[in-house]
Structure 1
Amino acid sequence: MPSHEVVLLLETDPHRGLSGDEAARRLERYGRNVLPAAGGDGVLRRVLRQFHHPLIYVLLAAAVVTAVLDEYVDSAVIFGVVLINAAIGYVQESKAESALDSLRSMVRTEARVVRDGQERKLSSDELVPGDLIVLEAGDKVPVDLRLVRLAELRVDESALTGESVPVTKDEAELPDVTEVADRRNMVYSGTLVTAGSGAGIAVATGAQTELGQIHRLVGAAETLATPLTRKLARFSKVLTVAILVLAGLTFGVGVLRGQDATETFTAAIALAVGAIPEGLPAAVTITLAIGVTRMARRRAVIRRLPAIETLGSTTVICSDKTGTLTENQMTVRAVWTPDGEFTVTGSGYQPEGEILDGSGAPAGEATSRALRWSLLAGAGCNDARLREEDGEWILAGDPTEGAMLVVAGKGGVDRERFEEGCPRTATIPFSSERQYMATLHGERDSGREVVLVKGGVERVLSMCRTEMGAHGDHRPLDAQAVTRAAEELAGRGLRVLATAVRPAGESAGFGEEDLSGTLSLTGLQAMLDPPRSAAGSAVRACHTAGIGVKMITGDHAATATAIATHLALLGEDRAGRVLTGRDLEALPAERFPEAVDRAAVFARVSPEQKLRLVETLQQRGHVVAVTGDGVNDAPALRQADIGIAMARTGTEVAKEAADMVLTDDDFATIEAAVEEGRGVFDNLTKFIVWTLPTNLGEGLVIFVAIVLGATLPLLPTQILWINMTTAVLLGLMLAFEPKEAGIMRRPPRDPGRALLTGALVVRIVLVAALLVVGTWWLFQWERDRGASVAEARTAALNVFVVVETFYLFSCRSLIHSAWHVGIFANRWILAGVAIQALAQLAITYLPVMNGIFDTAPIGGDVWLRILAVAVVAAAVVAIDKRLRRRLM
């Protein structure tokens, strides 16, 4: 709509604003300019939800059982594990929900509003539709505004749209299909004014703003279970059913055999206690925590423990472009002059690099006068400033102007020295209508004046009459050659600006009309936000690991395509590999999922579209990681299986919505996190494969005793000793296991694949059978030789622990032998084995331990038989591994 129709529609005044009475009525009608608080569950419901998990049910049952058996210490330990896990879950959930609070805080600021013809400062939550809001550089926009007047207004909308450079605003009418990122006549709540001034009419407040729409998306986005929690849930259900069935079967068999019901029930309880892996929750938490610590050393901060494992299962990474795949620092890559093109090395705002001529030699001052004047124009006609802080160069101003400052320094041009001898005396600032900036400089020595100009290629060309040659000569302008050069540079995805001068001694006027036809073109500067140095290799590593990488950006398609080409994201067949927001809107619903799967670059997309892309990929079975730094990224970050925010450039909203925060904003860190996540999942799987044979074996030992009507080889207290000590001293040491070689050459785990493969289930059953056979053989052997029941049970208890110890070394790799991974590669395991050995000697020989656990001292010959059982079991497992490797 024309701006005057907007004024009429909202019944306001473009100069005097609303009256105070009318503003009060509208405040009552529309409500305050705040984002609504999301309704959520109460504290009690959120606490109880932490216990709603099959594995927790199993643990609670174990705690009750041990309490019934008067083993109050063991019961307290199990209850403690449950409560700690619940507390961790509650705290992490509370942190995730604070993303909405961060969104609400973004609009709580002061605003300058005109009411009754008077400008005043008001809290932004008092603004209403129709208010006349005044903006200046540095202001945060408090509501969505339609601009009614402005002067050189530029707004940083990166947090909302992903646009990498500030947007120049104007008052032009636009088609109603114009995307948010291209609505130059509007400014939006939560964005930042970087230059100029303006005024606008409030057209939306609170939940009706673009920020409010994102708020609704964040609230509606589902917080998904991770692959690990989903697999553990399925595993726990199966385990719960199996334990109950086996315990019930044990009790039934005993009763049918005419055994005492109370004793049989006690035996069934002992079976259940043995079959429950009490150490599993602690192992999961500690293994993930160790992964978090490792990731922190690799510059990634994990906000939710399961996130580290989720990365290991990731099949698609949807990455933001600016600041993640790129440096987020504009860099001039080429300078074209009428007599040749020059290449610029180095990247970012670091003053490191050279300007090279066509032969690759450094371009000195004498190489080209046109080059020098182009650099002077870029640096002198410039309002940006660079400063060094703690070894890092910080830009204050427009990124394109920062790039021109840096390339001037690489070419030996010192702006401060130039301004000393030729200070600026007047400026024509850049505007979207003008499409150029000009500065007037007076030479101190001669008093003559020089004009420097930079701006859009077509606009600057229209003001030029001549072009400058390599020796500083001025000759007739070849506009076609300049246009061809600009098109060729733009075809590489570079942003091209033209530079020109009006030499000293020309016309003295400095009005806009005085410049036309008086300038001499010095060259073109082509720039790009360059890819990060490690991003290319990280993308290749992800592809090798079977992980798709997709770029989703609010930037233009040409720029995104150039970066994607450099990073080898597109491949040779590019048909359908680059899609814009408009392309996505035009796609039929039935073709949308397939097109999303095929595309590698999505440019000019809205927050709603980004969220839809993530949901579509998840519906197609992908485990999706999403990176982002702006408010516009928050819904997708929360919807993703793992959201990854940027620490340096990211908004608080993005960080709170994310599961992981990168302290260096570098895509290469994501690749490192994927590697670490795979290692974590491997170690968790190793722990489960190690612990389940013990639990299954203990249950089967009790079951066999009931079936045979024989004496129990193990008592419930002894079973608890085995489970608790070995889980802590042996099993948890697998959490420190180094990552296996070639971990990033494997494809991602299939999200639908069970926690344990068929081969691993067979191995678990095999080791459990070896434990049952070995335990019964030794128990009966000792009894037949005249040993007491306590001595025979002590031998049986130690069989379990020693076999577990041998099996532990085998579990350090699920495929290779213990020798392949190196016996001394994990010193934690050696320490754990040493402490476990001391614990077994204590329970075997210390009288106080004998009294508590009903054990008795055993002789050296018994230990030899225990070791023989362990060696046989280890040999059988090694043979099984070798046979399976041959079949692979």
Structure 2
Amino acid sequence: MTTSVLPAANGHHGLAAHEVVLLLETDAHHGLTNQEASERLARYGPNTLPPAKGAGLLMRILSQFHNPLIYVLIASGVITAALGEYVDSSVIFGVVIVNAIIGFIQESKAEAALEGLRSMAQTQATVIRDGHRRTIASDDLVPGDLVLLEAGDKVPADLRLTRLAELRINESALTGESVPVTKDEVVLPEAIPVADRHNMAYSGTLVTTGSGAGIVIATGAETELGQIHRLVGAAQVLDTPLTQKLAGFSKILTVGILALAAATFAVGLIRGYDAVDTFTAAVALAVGAIPEGLPAAVTITLAIGVARMARRRAVIRRLPAVETLGGTTVICSDKTGTLTENQMTVRIVWTPGGAYDVTGSGYAPDGDLHNAAGTEVSVDADQALRWSLLTGGACNDAGLTQEDGRWGITGDPTEGAMLVVAGKAGLGADQVKTLLPRVATIPFSSERQYMATLHHDTTSGAAHGQVLLAKGGVERMLELSGSQMDADGTVQPVDREAVLQAAADLAGQGLRVLATAMRPAAGPDDFDEDGLPGSMVLTGLQAMLDPPRAAATTAVAACHTAGIKVKMITGDHAATATAIAAQVGLLPRSDATTGMVLTGADLAALPAEDFPDAVDRATVFARVSPEQKLRLVEALQARGHVVAMTGDGVNDAPALRQAGIGVAMGASGTEVAKDAADMVLTDDDFATIEAAVEEGRGVFDNLTKFITWTLPTNIGEGLVILAAIMFGAALPILPTQILWINMTTAVALGLMLAFEPKEPGIMTRPPREPDQPLLTRALMVRILLVSALLVAGSWWLFEFERTHGASLAEARTAAMNVFVVVEAFYLFSCRSLTHSAWSIGLFSNRWIIVGVTVQAIGQIAITYLPAMNTLFGTAPIGGDVWLRILGIAVAASLVVAVDKRLRRPA
């Protein structure tokens, strides 16, 4: 375990740089000596994250069998083996082993989240040791090391910055901040959140522009990244609603089967039957009551759901997560990269002559500019607009890239956005460089609050003319500007109030606003920072934001229609988060948002007893830390919600792991987020979550249909055995025949329900209540009703055939076929649990027809093939018997149809 030198590793931002140097016993210019660095490495350990502590391999394997349903299956395998049915026993044990293997593999994948975090910290670092610049492995960094940072570097440890030059760092993966943070050396209050600690650089973040140096104050587990690592490791991986419901269902089923078998054995002994024969009958009852096909049906149904989701660009990493989506009651969505494009885009360009809307989003230079009337405009129609775009494109250090058809940027995202909007107006980067080749630069700094460049001006044909361009914060640019440009190119005194009002209106929409200005220059001697104030000509304002995804609004509305709450949890500023939330329909487009927007500071100030209620009411959570994201998910789960958490950054990983289902972004997400998640969106689109929820609901419907279909057979078989014992009659069906029914019908008939298409209106109904049992009261009544029909029909036909001279084998064959044929008819009814089979289309699931055909061939074989007769104790039956079997099946179907009609929701 590594530690920092100071006991309070989080307090370095509250100390002056020289105090940190003294406390860490280092040198701000020469760094540590090699000897001291070696001693500290031995004392504090390498700059790596510790391996996760988990259960051993044997315990992880054994845990896969720790489930009541698995116990029932193992008992079923033992019983069938004892009965001499070794093939059936092998099949049952095969199902147990396959399920254990799948569970073990999926669990191993989930543990990869911690490995992803460790690999993220492995990089190279440039340090000063013994006064010399050296490149070392980041693993060898120790507290007190002096680290140098350049554009493009990944920060190798937590640093207190000591000197910097125009340093900006992209911290979005750690904090959720969508814009690179400008760093400075100013001492900050100790209570300030991580996202606002501008004098710090944190492990795993990326330097976008500038350079700097800093003292290592924390390594390994003591870094902010290390704290997230601990949160991921500590987050509880909850059972999914499906596994919880199946576990509860299996416990009830186990108790019921054992009780019924015990009752059968007791009744037989009381009636004076032979103990061995009675025990055999009780075993037959237990075998009949066990739904051997259920685990296979669950696995196959979930696998089909996985395949369907993959076609809709959602990759499932854990099978039960398919169904969890269908039961989701709350989606906690990250803002940056999830609801938004994670690509800064200029949306409005304001000039003294008017405002222009910009179409298109992201970094692709595709779009147009439109005036207030909605008419597309050319830059030649407004000279202020033209010079504002030229300034944004030329006074700029970013670059546009295109790889595999995907546009991106190098450098600062805000500068990239200004390049893109210039390109949309026909002023591409190459053209701008040709028109305005750069001569000199005054770089941006946090103190200066603007960037200025000097260019040769070839735009007017004057080969030797020069022009000075500048861009920066609105108020700072107003200090530099004494005049403003009109649409026709004339210059007027600057209207300061109008500019400030326009900037305020744009900022109120959650837009980041930069101002542009220009003026002709006499030459390099005219490019003097002291001579800029009051000399520039303001050309306009460019307002940008990380725009919402095109389908986000529709997807959010669809989730609301489906009764699913959507909450935004982000590390970005409250104003930006509120604006995006209003645009995608999470918040009303008004000021009536009291209590709906909470910041990290608000959450920290909430009393513990008020926290869950406040979280449930609020919709937007801004400026929150990773610990708070995790606490939010836990609070919602404590309120009984099934929570889906989306995210793409390192800061999202603990909450992704804690949530009922973690959803990571595939294209822009970090490997840490993907490894911690249960589902990965290949297109990073929030709308894909809606599609996945729809598929998840369909999966749960099909599982419920299978269970509703299979249980009557198991219960009916058990009750037939019990009735035979109670009345002292011969068994209507034998244990081997019961196994034939259970195994063949589960595969040929029941599994066909896994291919059932989603029913209409699946996304207009509310989500299932988290505490709702697997089977509702109405479905339990239907299951018992069909069980009773199976018992009555098979018993009646068995006695009827015996009375009319049929042999015992013939009567049992008739009774066995009653079970199978009634099951086949009932299968069509179970295709919809509320509507009639005719209303959903007889051939909308052609696999049902295939399954019934295969089962029919199997029944003919077991009834008429001599080898099958010998193996299963069956005998051929006549056509009149088949007519009676069909009559029982039709009567049972009519009774079920009447029950379904009476119980159909209004």
Whichever residue aligns with residue 724 of structure 1, its letter is: M
Q: Work out whether 1:471 is the aligned partner of 2:488.
A: yes
Paired letter, 1:165: V
The superposition leaves residues 243-297 of structure 1 with CA deviations (integer Å, 9 ceiling, x where unpaired) of: 0000000000001000111000000000000000000000000000000000000
- 5 Å-filtered alignment, 1:88-487, equals 88-443=102-457, 445-487=462-504
Residue number in structure 2 paired with 1:881: 900
Who is 1:735 aligned against?
Answer: 754
Query: 1:569 touches 1:600 (CA, 8 Å); kept in 2?
Result: yes
The question of whether the paired residues in 1 share the 8 Å contact of 2:521 and 2:527 is answered with no
Opposite residue 537 of structure 1, the aligned amino acid is T
Cα distance between partner residues in 2 of 1:183 and 1:842: 77
Query: Is 1:562 matched with 2:576?
Result: no
- How many residues align structurally? 887
Give 1:778's aligned amino acid: L
SS of aligned partner of 2:203: coil
1:785 aligns to what? 804
The separation in 2 between residues aligned to 1:507 and 1:24, in whole angstroms, is 51
Structure 2: how far apart are the matches of 1:76 and 1:117? 72
What is the CA–CA distance in structure 1 between the aligned matches of 2:442 and 2:494, rounded to whole Å?
24
Question: What is the root-mean-square deviation of aligned Cα atoms in Å?
Answer: 1.2
Q: Which residue of 1 aligns with 2:532?
A: 515
Q: 1:353 to 1:110 in 2, by over 3 A?
A: closer
The one-letter code of the counterpart of 1:729 is A
Q: Do residues 32 (structure 1) and 51 (structure 2) align?
A: no
Deviates more, 1:824-833 or 1:389-398: 389-398
Letter in 2 for 1:371: L
Q: 566, 588, 591: which one pairs with 1:549? A: 566
Letter in 2 for 1:750: E
1:492 paired residue among 509, 524, 533: 509
- 2:166 partner SS: strand
Please give the secondary structure, in 2, of the residue aligned with 1:743.
coil
Q: In structure 1, what is the Cα distance between the partners aligned to 2:611 and 2:587?
A: 19
The alpha-carbon deviation at position 505 of structure 1 amounts to 4.4
CA deviations on 1:100-159 (whole Å, 9 max, x unpaired) are 111111112221111111111222111111111111112111110000111111111111
- CA positional deviation for 1:394: 2.1
CA contact (8 A) 1:449 1:508 kept: no
How many angstroms apart in 2 are the aligned matches of 1:22 and 1:45?
43
SS in 2 for 1:650: coil
Does residue 619 (structure 1) correspond to residue 633 (structure 2)? The answer is no
What secondary structure sits across from 2:355 in the alignment?
strand
Cα deviation for residue 208 of structure 1 reads 0.6
2:874 corresponds, among 855, 864, 875, to: 855
Contact 2:338–2:648 at 8 Å: present in 1 too? no
Q: Aligned partners of 1:388, 1:148: CA distance in 2, in Å? A: 37
Structure 1 vs Structure 2: percent identity of aligned residues? 71
Q: How far 1:506 moved relative to its partner?
A: 8.1
Deviation string, structure 1 residues 699-728 (Cα, Å, up to 9, x no partner): 000000000110001111100000000000
User: Aligned AA for 2:411?
Assistant: G
Q: State the Cα distance separating 1:161 from its structure 2 match.
A: 0.7
Can you list the C-alpha shifts for 1:722-780, whole angstroms capped at 9, x where unaligned?
00000000000000000000001111101101111110000000000000000001101
* Whole-angstrom distance in 2 between the partners of 1:397 and 1:148: 23
Map of 1:715 onto structure 2: 734
Give the secondary-structure state (helix, strand or coil) at the position aligned to 2:569: strand
1:508 Cα deviation after fit:
4.1
Which whole-Å CA distance do the structure 1 matches of 2:384 and 2:135 have between them?
Answer: 51
Given the alignment of the two structures, is residue 634 of structure 1 paired with residue 648 of structure 2, yes or no?
no
Name which of structure 1's ranges 100-109 and 854-863 shifts more when overlaid on structure 2: 100-109
Displacement of 1:332? 1.1
Q: Distance in 2 between matches of 1:414 and 1:325?
A: 29
- Residue pair 1:251, 1:265 contacting (<8 A) in 2 also: yes
Deviation at 1:509, TM superposition (A): 2.1
Give the partner amino acid of 2:154. K
CA distance in 2, matches of 1:696, 1:773: 13
Shift of 1:507: 8.4
How much has 1:415 moved relative to structure 2? 3.5
Give the secondary structure class of the aligned counterpart of 1:433.
Answer: coil
3-state SS in 2 of match to 1:122: strand
Contact 1:372 1:413 in 2 (8 A): no
What is the CA-CA distance between 1:365 and the residue it aligns to? 3.4
Match of 2:463, as an amino acid? S
Does 2:549 match 1:535? no
Letter paired with 1:471: D
The SS at the match of 2:518 is: strand
Which stretch of the first structure deviates more once superposed, 764-773 or 318-327?
A: 318-327
Q: What does 1:676-755 align with in structure 2 at a 5 Å threshold?
A: 676-755=695-774
Q: Is the 8 A contact 2:351 2:540 kept in 1?
A: yes
What secondary structure, in the 3-state scheme, does the structure 2 residue paired with 1:99 have?
helix
Task: Assess if the C-alpha contact under 8 Å between 1:33 and 1:128 holds in 2.
Answer: yes
1:577 corresponds in structure 2 to 596
Closer, same or farther in 2 for the Cα pair 1:83/1:507, shift >3 Å? closer
1:395 alignment partner, SS class: strand
Pair 1:835 & 2:835 matched: no
For 2:555, the aligned partner's letter is: A
Distance 1:137 1:575 in 2: 41
1 CA distance for matches of 2:880 and 2:410?
Answer: 80
Could you tell me how far apart the structure 1 residues matched to 2:318 and 2:862 are? Answer: 39
AA partner of residue 585 (structure 1): A
Structure-2 residue corresponding to 1:845: 864
What is the Cα deviation at residue 350 of structure 1? 2.5
Moved more, 474-483 or 857-866: 474-483
Which range moved further: 748-757 or 564-573? 564-573
Task: For residue 739 of structure 1, give the secondary structure of its aligned residue in structure 2.
Answer: coil
Q: What code does the residue aligned with 2:838 have?
A: W
Question: What SS does the aligned partner of 2:381 have?
Answer: coil
SS at match of 1:745: coil
Greater mean deviation of Cα atoms: 333-342 or 571-580:
571-580
Letter in 2 for 1:642: I
What displacement does 1:396 show? 2.2
TM-score, normalized by length of structure 2? Answer: 0.97
- The alpha-carbon deviation at position 410 of structure 1 amounts to 2.3
Q: Which amino acid aligns with 2:72?
A: V
Counterpart amino acid of residue 412 in structure 1: G
CA distance in 2, matches of 1:415, 1:220: 49
Which residue of 1, 6, 14 maps to 2:28? 14
Unaligned runs of 5+ in 2: 1-14
Contact 1:376–1:415 at 8 Å: present in 2 too? no
Aligned partners of 1:503 and 1:838: how far apart in 2? Answer: 91
Mapped to 2, the partners of 1:584 and 1:177 lie a distance apart of 14
Which digits, 9 at most, give the CA deviation of each residue in 1:649-693, with x for residues without a partner?
111111110000000000000000111000000000000000000
